[in-house]
Structure 1
Amino acid sequence: MAMLYVNGEQIKTPSTLEWGLQDILGGDSGRTQDAVMHNNRISQKRKLSLSWNNPTKEEASAILKSFNSEYVEIKYPDAMSGAEETRTFYVGDRSAPMKTWTVNQRRYSSISFELNER
């Protein structure tokens, strides 16, 4: 079984998948005059940080095309639930620095970006 599915399609397993949980706070959250913090959590959202090490130009293209939609449905292993989950995410800025670009060796050093739950 693959680690990640994007819009129902299996993709290359990332070198790193970092799971995160963000608290979404209401507008009335903040510190009062007595310096006590008052959180008004209205929701929690998942955040996934993904990276692939040393992808070929073909792998880089396939990965970036898979995540090019405004929103993507991701099936992934969720650390909190302990199960495979499917959620809708939007993709942050993507980067793919080049490593080597010679005649027989065309690779990027990595591809990385963050997914934030919608």
Structure 2
Amino acid sequence: MSGSLAINGKSVKTPKEFSVGLQDIDADSSGRNASGQMVRDVIAKKVKLEMKWGSLSDAEIASLLRDVDGKFFSVTYPDPKVGGQATKTFYAGDRTSPSYSWNDKYKSMKWEGLSMNFVEQ
């Protein structure tokens, strides 16, 4: 990934997968009219970031999850529409972290990864 990722100004570990979704939010009045033509009233344009990290230690995953624990937080990320870094306010969507191993032999890496998405406020 070109660029860097920071949450509330703090650099975080680079995810192994990163994608930026651009979403149009339509008003309830949007839809097809009696002639079958689409009528849209776009009331907002929002960004959704989807990220996946590889194996993480307890300390690494705890730090990432604490960083997004607030209601809203700022994220600086590579934005394809801007053509560089952008900073916007997001909230965290679903967060999933599958276990790597319960075996004491693998104490340093207990988590197979972390996936989560951020939705622009």
TM value normalised by structure 2: 0.90
1:18-29 aligned at under 5 Å gives the runs 18-29=19-30
Cα drift, residue 78 of structure 1: 0.4
Q: Bigger CA drift: 100-109 or 78-87?
A: 100-109
- Closer/same/farther in 2, CA of residues 35 and 87 from structure 1, 3 Å limit: same
1:15-94 aligned at under 5 Å gives the runs 15-94=16-95
What is the aligned-residue identity percentage? 31
CA distance in 1, matches of 2:20, 2:94: 17
- Following TM superposition, the consecutive aligned residue runs of length 4 or more in structure 1 with deviations greater than 4 angstroms are none
Task: Say whether the 8 Å CA contact 1:24–1:41 is kept in structure 2.
Answer: yes
Task: Say whether the 8 Å CA contact 1:2–1:10 is kept in structure 2.
Answer: no
5+ residue gaps, structure 1: none
Task: Say whether the 8 Å CA contact 2:90–2:120 is kept in structure 1.
Answer: yes
1:95 counterpart letter in structure 2: T
SS at 1:62 equivalent: helix
Superposition RMSD in Å: 1.6
Q: Bigger CA drift: 65-74 or 101-110?
A: 101-110
Aligned residues: 118
SS at 2:66 equivalent: helix
TM value normalised by structure 1: 0.92
5+ residue gaps, structure 2: none
Task: Say whether the 8 Å CA contact 2:3–2:85 is kept in structure 1.
Answer: no
Cα drift, residue 54 of structure 1: 1.3
